[in-house]
């Protein structure tokens, strides 16, 4: 249990501190950072697969077109999420990005209702309604939908839904996704080189290493998350997931001094209230009935 909590907390902490890493490469176009993230993630993952001699699943997967099609969609969603997040961080929109990961659990609940036909409990409906109210408030105050947060939440939520029903494990699934994305990423990098935009060769050695580091920085938290999720209850994992967006919000406000008015704080507070209702309801469902049964007199 303790090891699982450390693994999961480590994954969410890395994701929460990711803006610091991305800000060091602010001079590089977000599309190029994403392309290098795909490239070096694949290199790192192939080294892991080689170390574990974990290759047999590749041949089996290539003979299953439906699996390939499903992972092609999830790869597209993942790359869209990566690009938008990188763009948001490097355009001083970290707070907007953090909103997406705050509301992501509630988006997951709503997708489960709409796609998987899961029944929602009254507490879950209350949380979803409160989150919708918070988004409506932010829309009214800002004059437009908080599109960055909503797009990040929808892409990652739908990605998670596809991975939930996928037949491959975390490492194999990420491997296949990066393999499917690699030809497009590598091809576009070659195109940029032919147009005289070889940023990797023109930049400093430090920045080159930072781009290469995108491989382990992408893969390690995903593996930590997978290891942690196997060891702890979903209710505990659900609480730990707020570490990431909380750190992102603190970085945006205190380190990078992004504007955070009282009106925006009010919208976030409504959404935090929704998350509190969602989390407490989940804890009650996980532990309340059991405790009632255990303490019931004979």
- Separation CA 252–CA 118 (nearest Å): 35
Query: pLDDT tens for residues 29-73?
Result: 999 999 999 999 999 999 999 998 888 898 888 888 888 999 999
The span from the first CA to the last CA of the chain, in angstroms, equals: 31
DSSP 171-223: HHHHHHHHHHHHHHHHHHHHHHHHTT--HHHHS-HHHHHHHHTHHHHHHHHHH
Report the C-alpha gap between 102 and 94 in whole angstroms: 12
Contact (Cβ atoms closer than 8 angstroms) between residue 161 and residue 78: no
In angstroms, the CA 84 to CA 172 distance is 24
For 185, counting Cβ atoms within 10 Å of its Cβ (0-12 exposed, 13-18 middle, 19+ buried), the class is buried
Give kind and range of the element (H or E) at residue 80: helix 65-90
27 SS3 class: coil
Q: Which of 230, 236, 94, 221 is nearest to 152 (CA)?
A: 94
Q: pLDDT tens digits for the chain (298 residues)? A: 678 889 889 999 999 999 999 999 988 999 999 999 999 999 999 999 999 888 889 888 888 888 899 999 999 999 999 999 999 999 999 999 999 999 988 888 888 888 878 888 888 899 999 999 999 999 998 888 999 999 999 998 898 888 777 788 888 888 999 999 999 999 999 998 888 887 887 888 889 999 999 999 988 988 888 788 777 776 677 778 899 999 999 999 999 999 999 999 999 999 999 999 988 888 787 776 655 555 555 5
Residue 169: φ, ψ to 5°: -75, 180
Give the predicted TM-score (pTM) of the model: 0.89
pLDDT (tens digit, 9 = 90+) per residue, 199-213?
887 888 889 999 999
Rounded to whole angstroms, the Cα distance separating 263 from 197 reads 42
Neighbours of 205 (CB within 10 A): 7
């Amino acid at each position: 249990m303790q090891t699982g909590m450390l693994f999961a907390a480590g994954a969410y902490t890395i994701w929460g501190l990711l803006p610091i890493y991305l800000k060091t490469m602010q001079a590089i176009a977000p599309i190029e950072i994403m392309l290098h993230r795909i490239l070096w993630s694949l290199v790192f993952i192939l080294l892991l697969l080689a170390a574990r001699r974990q290759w047999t699943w590749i041949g089996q997967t290539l003979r299953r077109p439906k699996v390939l099609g499903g992972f092609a969609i999830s790869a597209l969603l993942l790359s869209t999420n990566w690009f938008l997040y990188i763009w948001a961080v490097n355009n001083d929109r970290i707070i907007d990005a953090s909103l997406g990961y705050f509301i992501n659990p509630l988006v997951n609940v709503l997708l489960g209702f709409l796609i998987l036909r899961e029944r929602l409990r009254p507490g879950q409906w209350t949380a979803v309604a409160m989150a919708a109210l918070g988004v409506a408030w932010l829309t009214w105050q800002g004059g437009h939908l908080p599109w960055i947060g909503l797009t990040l939440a929808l892409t990652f939520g739908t990605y998670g839904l596809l991975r939930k029903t996928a037949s491959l494990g975390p490492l194999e699934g990420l491997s296949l996704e990066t393999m499917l994305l690699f030809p497009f990423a590598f091809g576009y990098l070659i195109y940029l080189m032919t147009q005289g935009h070889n940023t990797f060769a023109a930049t400093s050695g430090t920045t080159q290493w930072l781009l290469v580091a995108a491989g382990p920085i992408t893969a390690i938290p995903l593996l930590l998350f997978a290891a942690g999720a196997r060891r702890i209850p979903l209710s505990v994992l659900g609480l730990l997931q707020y570490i990431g967006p909380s750190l992102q919000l603190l970085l945006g406000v205190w380190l990078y001094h992004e504007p955070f008015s009282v009106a925006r704080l009010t919208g976030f507070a409504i959404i935090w209230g929704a998350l509190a209702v969602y989390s407490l309801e989940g804890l009650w469902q996980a532990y309340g009935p059991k405790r009632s049964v255990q303490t019931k007199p004979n």
